[in-house]
Structure formats: C-alpha cells, structure tokens
Amino acid sequence: MRADVHLTPGCPWYELSELRLPNVDWCEAQRCAWVVEPANAWSNLAYVVVGVLLWWLARDSRSPALRFFGPAAAIVGLCSGIYHSSYTFVLQILDFFGMYVFLYLLITLNLRRLGVLGAGDWWRWFWGLALATTALTVGVDFLEIPIQGLIALLIAVVAGSELWIRRRGAGYSLGAFAGALALIGAGAVFSGLDVTRTWCDPTHPFLQGHAIWHVLSAACLFVVFFHYRQFEGELG
C-alpha cells in the first residue's frame, strides 16, 4: 500500500517527499520533524549494535568477507534509519541498498562455496550486484510492482543456495542458519501485522511491528554470521 500521507510545507523533509512517497505506509504516525517515524528509525540502532559486535568477533579473521559482516550490518541500520527519518521514496531506495548489501554478501559467499566465483571475483560481483539491483528497484517501483518482493526473492535465493550446497553432501551444522531463518520469519510476521493494520497503534512511542522487524532481523544477521564462520578456511 503506497503511502498517501504527505508532509506539510515547512517540515524538514517536505521538498524531498514531494518528489515521490514510499511505496509502503507503515502503521507509525508520521511527525513533522527531522525524525518522521521515531520508533521505526531508532530501532535501526539494533543493526549498528550487531555490526559492532560482529566487527569485534571477526576482527582477527583471515577472511575479508567475514570481517565485512560487521560493516554490512551497520550499513543496513544506517540506511534504514535515514529512510525512516525522512519518509521519502528517494531515501527508501537507500534502505533497499542497505538490505542488498547484506543479502548479496550471503549470496556471493554461497557462490564462492559452490565454486562459481573465485576469491578474486567476489568483491567485484558483490558490489556490482548490490548496485545493479538498487537501480532495478527504482524501475520496478515506477511500474507499481511491490519492491519488497525483491527482498523476499533474494532471501529465497540465500536459502535455496544453502540447501543446494548441503545436498551436495558437505557435512556441517545448519543450526545457526535455521535460527537465522526463524528470526527473519518472525520479524516478517510482525512487519506484516504492522502494514496490514492488524496490530497497529500509530502513536505508541516504541511498540511498532516494523520496529520489531528491525530488532529481529538484526538478531538474524548476528546469528547467520556464526553459520558462515564455519567456512572461514574456504572464504579466506
């Protein structure tokens, strides 16, 4: 459901909001302030906290990819926080870029584990796919196709490629990966309850379904790191 609430003249993000509004209208009431959706914006600090923790855990890793998990999680939080502060489509694209950064981190690492990408190709493909999909997102939105479907598709690619690797007979634990999927699934439920107004109190200062999505999906990013840490030798 595309947002239909315009910020009023004089509000900090008014001019940018007039260009185009986001393609989704979350439950939280928009405010005439630099932080338009406080709960949805500040809850993104969960990603930043996770990013710092992952940076510390991977600081001595021999794998540049594992060391990038922390910065990638922080990018997700910063991009999403800026978007929810502004309530504008222009910066919603920044939010999607942040999600693509983390999802393509996982997808390209799986391609490395499958032997499709070499260590020398990985970085170029990772950034190329993240930037190309960000550009594609703009076009998809102007076709009035729900761009959130791109995120669902990429999550399916992560899960599918992981199962493909597992079926090839490699013996390793899927516990952390299953836990990460459970967390992202639970977060999606809260986000769905929010956007459909099934559970919605627009004025509550912090109990917002989409804000809970941020916290649970940040926990997902933390847990999934432990899955990939099993393959440090392959990802060096």
Query: Do the Cβ atoms of 71 and 64 come closer than 8 Å?
Result: no
What are the backbone dihedrals phi and psi of residue 201, each rounded to the nearest 5 degrees, phi first?
A: -130, 95
Torsion angle, alpha carbons of 214, 225, 127, 121, to 10: -170
Residues in Cβ contact with 173 at an 8 Å cutoff, skipping those fewer than 6 apart: 227, 230
Predicted pLDDT at 2:
59
Report how far residue 113's alpha carbon sits from residue 105's, in angstroms, rounded to the nearest whole number: 12
- What pLDDT, in 10s, does the model give residues 157-211? 999 999 999 888 778 889 999 999 999 999 999 999 999 999 999 999 899 999 9
Determine the pLDDT at residue 227. 97
| Residue 234: predicted pLDDT | 79
Predicted local distance difference test score (pLDDT) of residue 3: 62
Residue-wise pLDDT tens for the chain (236 aa)? 556 666 788 899 999 988 998 999 999 999 999 999 999 999 999 999 999 999 999 999 999 999 999 999 999 999 999 999 999 999 999 999 999 999 999 999 999 999 898 888 889 999 999 999 999 999 999 998 899 999 999 999 999 999 999 888 778 889 999 999 999 999 999 999 999 999 999 999 899 999 999 999 999 999 999 999 999 887 86
The pLDDT score that the predictor gives to residue 44 is 98
pTM of the model: 0.94
What domains, with CATH codes, occur in the chain?
Answer: 14-229 (1.20.1070)
